[in-house]
Structure formats: structure tokens, C-alpha cells
Structure 1
């Protein structure tokens, strides 16, 4: 069965507690690569907030929490190791950033095909551990967006 090409529009969801503890998950296909929840749209017309909720549920099992669209976009070059997932000639992705506030102690159930480990870290430590510069920058913005929610 041929898999359709990925749509070069995605979400980045910074899952965090009210105390700004951030959930990071380790990629199964790249051990040592820690990140927030990410994922591409399933269809061109899929609303971004539904993409964010779907990806969080698929990757972590978390279905609740307060989702906030940070109205930030990152355009970045797709790492060569993952370009085969996109149509020929596609080299860049547009990422839309969200925050998801969940209670401390929220259980996490990883999808083992995608991620092998999870950790909750204070926001600065989480930013330092991310392999992706756009993910680290999003986490560094967390205190500002969390204050806007209060």
C-alpha cells in the first residue's frame, strides 16, 4: 500500500503543567532526540486545533487539558533524513505552535512506535534538552503565553 505524502504543515504542542513543567518525549527513530508533541495535518482542511488534539492523544494518550493557540508559525527546512515522507521537491515545513495546560500528575501513555521515553522538566531545562531549535524557542516562550492564560 502506498502511503500518501505528508502535508508540509504541522503543529508543535508544548504540553505543560500550571507550574511550567514541560513534557518531553524521546523519538523512537532517533534515540536522544527529545521533543514536544509534533505532527502533520491529516488533510489540507483539517483545523489546526484538531490536529493538535489528535497528535497529543496519539502520541501521549492525553485527551484533556486547555489548548491555547500561540499564533506562532515557524518555517524550517525539513531534515534530510525525513524528506522522503514528503512530495518530491518539498524542503520546508510550516509549523503552528500551541500550548496545552494539563494538571500535574497527568498520566502519559506513549505510542511505542513513535516514542520510547518521557520526562517532565522545568521549562528552561526542557528547552535545553530539545534537539529542534524551533521547539526550544517555543518552550522559552512558555512563561509569556502561560501568563496570558491566567
Structure 2
């Protein structure tokens, strides 16, 4: 599949997430559906990572979005979503570990449906992470249309980081 481009409409798929609940500090809640259809009429920053808790994802990518959350909101962003091909329980645990609380929705694309339909999947079998993993990317979605997309072509966080996204808002 060709990679999604600026001007394209995002696919409607059901992701999973565990809503933030401070009473569940040491346990996960029941995963809920997060349909990408719920992005209709909103400006959403969605960034994808190859894996929760992995070095670059945990030490650079997610923290930068967390640190710059207010800047994103001030530029009109309604929702920030972190997406990985992990399951909702892992994403919830990662959100608790990094203390993103209710700022960033930690969404699971466990079957890789979104990343495959957008052409943003990669095979990380050689690294022991499986054949269907997310590329490192960030996109700005405005009323279901892609208005910015940055996909990393090398290790690290440049075009998919919060600073790059802010520069495009």
C-alpha cells in the first residue's frame, strides 16, 4: 500500500485504549474503543512509535510531546494520540510509567490495521519485534484530513517530533 499523504482522508478504524483513571495507578482499566471517526471536526496530532518502552520512543519521542502538550493545545490541537502496535494494556502501563496522565491518549493498534491501511507499517522481525510494527511518524489530522505527515527515514526523532509538528501548525 502507498503511504498516506497530505490531503488524504485517514481510514476509519477502531483502536483501543484504557482511559486515564487516577484510581487505577497499579492496574489497567477495561480497554475502550477509540474510533478514528471520533476525530471528525477536530484537530488531532497522532504520532506512531515502533514500540512502547523502547529507548527512542520512551526517552525522546513521547516525552517531547508530553513536554510540549500545552504548546500544541495553544495552536488549536484538540487531541494528542500516541499509537503503537502494542496492546491497550501495554500502552496504558507505558502512559502510567511516563506520567502522561490524561494529556495524551495512549492508543493501541494491536492488529496493525491503521498502520497497514496508511502504509506506515514496517517489518521488525530481525529485531524480534514482529512483522507488523509502526514506523516512527507524526501526522496532523484536521477533520479527518492529513495536513502534515513526517515519517522518519533514519533512527532518531526529527520530522516526527513535537517541535517539527509545532512548526507546521
Shared fold (TM-score greater than 0.5)?
no
Q: TM-score, normalised by structure 2?
A: 0.26
